[in-house]
Structure 1
Amino acid sequence: MGESEVMQDILYKIDKIAPTDANILILGENGTGKGEIAKLIHQKSLRADKPFVHADLGALTESLFESELFGHKKGAFTDAREDRAGRFESANTGTLFLDEIGNITLPQQAKLLTVLQNREVTRLGTNTPIALDIRLISATNAPIKELAGQNAYRKDLIYRLNTIEITLPALRQRGEDIILLADFFAKTYSQKYQKNVQNIDEKAKEKLRRYTFPGNIRELQHAIERAIIMSDGDTLLARDLDLNSSIEAPIVVTDTSSTLRIDEIEKNTILKAIEKHDGNITKAARELGLTRTALYRRLGKYDI
């Protein structure tokens, strides 16, 4: 959904590439709609009536990576109580969407590259390869080309992933699409919460236009949902919009009085992110806009 020039260009590109089987890499900040674009490509493809399988690689632990993606045979490891197909096998003849592709380690990248090169997958605990016929779509908010230059990401894997590359703009770069999307979410949540909101007040629209939305579309969606819940009449007012309470707001380092050294500021920011997410490195890295590999390098650098 979008009438801005940048979104119209992307939608035109999708119309051209969707009917092909080209691998697609979708780049963009968190909350820009990478998952929705992946679904749209599948819906416009020749595989639209086949499976669309989503794998969030950022949520997979090291121990689950191979089992979840490639499957396993009963008894392959302690908790393997039955045979199970992995995401690759489940997506056969359809589309596999690998989200957070920038968050995987170098050993995981090597295993993934082998599957993509051979177009076959072998379940853990077996020696029998299974041929694959999939359309691959990947997405990340990580600067994987920069990581490749730092030897933190395999260039040969990037070549496999991005036959076609789509970069989604941040919401703040989409002009009046903010209002278009706000209207859509207002109608959606008005119906969900049995409200009678028909319009968005001009002052509320101006408030939306002025805000930078660091959390992008996801933040806008949450903001409108909260506003609908708080609204009393048939028009959404500026006072209903509590944009400062966004859970998507970036980390702000407030105590820099003791030092202005860049490395100290970065270290403090990392510590705040890790503390906020109770030591969960994956979530902390995601909020910082880093891959887990890049965050681990900084943990070593600052002896954290």
Structure 2
Amino acid sequence: MYDLIIIGMGPAGLTAAVYAARKKLSTLLVGKHYGGQMAWASGVENYIGFQYITGAELLSRFEEHVARYPVERLEAEVIKLSRENGHFSIRTAGGDVFQSRTVIVGSGKSPRRLNAPGEKELTGRGVSYCAVCDAPLFADMDVSVVGGGNSALTAAYDLIKIARRVYIISLEEWTADPVIIDKVKNATNLTRLVGYETVRIEGSERVTGIILRSLDGRKKEMKLDVQGVFIEIGTVPNTNFVGELLELNEKGEIRVDCDCSTSVPGVYAAGDVTSIPEKQIIVAAGEGAKAALGAYRYLLEHKQ
């Protein structure tokens, strides 16, 4: 029986672990991917104290800090969170079960799928959801980026330095921050395609092209001979394991109050998986600290 189980190993979960350990709580930190989306960030320019740092470097700093404390860690996927006899229980995909007096959910978000024919079959064979991870594999090739927000244009920025030609495909006009747009708009090897939807992704062993359809009323189709398709159309919260235990909003995010408490006393949530409006590394870290302090306060008030 732990004092606290933290689900998620991104900035929210790692920060919560430090704060919990400093309060001498017996803590289990469990998550499917160490570092969360922070590990994928090519460059971070808005984390206070660093004018510029890569996501991998920032994760390394987080890791060094957490390693100073006696926090148990387990890399595993949590498939169920439940409440039993006044305590909480988590079950992993491997069948392990752990119990605790409090829980912090900091499981973050995952890339949203396009659900186009060929996407699933060619994932890892030309279809990617992480330009930071995979961009070097497409040196001197033609690639497409699907999306028009911050993640899409950030991916394009990484790719224009490596790929031969980059096509940005979006349903509507770009919605990215102006500072990101400024970085890519004048690239000579970038083609902007606004008002197109993806019909399918083609290829057998590898991606060989992407079929688009115009949304201008003519519904005309066109093919781009690309070797890579980077899908950057947003993210979805990782809340499938909370079942009916926690209240979610219309986006599937966990509803939290300003102290990170959820609809169930003793369960707190932090970071991108929650209903807080801003999804940033620094915000997630701050929310992780608040959640750990909230769990500590709950334990003080509910001594068992």
Whether TM-score is above 0.5 comes out as no
Which is richer in helix?
Answer: 1
- TM-score scaled by length of structure 1: 0.23
- TM-score scaled by length of structure 2: 0.23
Which is richer in strand?
Answer: 2
